[in-house]
Chain A
Amino acid sequence: MTELLTDQFANQSVAIAGLGGLGSHIAEMLVRSGVGKLLLVDFDRVERSNLNRQYYLPAHIGMYKTEALAEQLLQINPSVQLTIRRQRITAENARMLFAGWSLVCEALDGAAEKAMLINALLLDTSKTIVAASGMAGYESANRIQTTHPFARLYLCGDAVSDMADAPMLAPRVQLCAAHQANMVLRLMLKLQEP
């Protein structure tokens, strides 16, 4: 059964926008699940302050997140196909950066950047986005959920816990990333319910 599922995802592809606490873990879980092809987009470098919740190690400090994560993912599955774009995502370049990728995980950190990406990409009717909003702090883990607000938008998180008001901690961030990764696998299996 495990091998069968792995085979099932080998021809699947997904783009990850942002490789912080959400994106690095979404990528890790999807590569472990056997997803064959990923696009990784981030402009930033790994900092010490990222290590409390992001899928990086002290040895990665100073490296670009795209390269550090690619190194980790290739250790999990040496045959995974990775496309890397080391760029800051803007309203102007978003459609070009994700052209040809129909399933996109929004894993950016700023609220305005999240909204910008959803607005820029969803106008393209071939795209479906699995986004996240509300995973800061240590409120009940049970409040993190997957919702389906628009036809082509899934949203994970508690919708209210802002990083401006509470610290970003590993458990809720990874929980939210797991919601996103699970929704991605569900969509790959043609399951549309959140």
Chain B
Amino acid sequence: MGSTTWGTFLFVAFFVPILRLREKINRKGGWNMKVNGVTVAVPNSLSLLAYLQQQGYPLDRIAIEYNGDILARAAYGAIQLQPDDVVEIVCFVGGG
């Protein structure tokens, strides 16, 4: 194999994963995840429940889809946020 092929191989095999990992780690040493389609930074070892409380969500008025699955309310506290998590939060207002 020529040096160009080797160079491409090395770049793809080693540097691309490192670059992608760096995108997931934010400046404060936490993770980036997506909430309602927007990339947000979260510190390491934060539970979903703690995140919701921090953001001021009214816990009795929301429903959450976490990485494609609806999440039981009782599970919010046990979920530790991970890099690349995709969280959809619906917050209801009254009227019917």
Contacts and interface: CB of A to CB of B under 8 A. Distances in A.
A186 B80 CA distance: 37
B68 A151 contact: yes
B20 to A, nearest CB: 26
B95 A109 contact: yes
B70 A150 contact: yes
Contacts of A157: 93, 95
Question: Interface size bucket, B side?
Answer: 10 to 19
A112 B61 CA distance: 5
Nearest to B60: A112
Interface of B: 36, 58, 60-63, 65, 68, 70, 72-73, 88, 90-96
Contact of B93 (A108, A118, A159): A159
B92 A123 contact: no
A150 B88 contact: yes
Nearest to A160: B93
B94 A150 contact: no
A163 interface: yes
Contact of B70 (A22, A123, A132, A159): A123
B96 A132 contact: yes
A21 B93 CA distance: 15
27 contacts: A20-B96, A21-B96, A107-B96, A110-B94, A111-B61, A112-B92, A115-B61, A118-B63, A118-B92, A119-B72, A122-B70, A123-B72, A131-B92, A133-B93, A134-B95, A149-B65, A150-B65, A150-B88, A150-B90, A151-B65, A152-B70, A159-B93, A162-B93, A162-B95, A163-B94, A163-B96, A168-B95
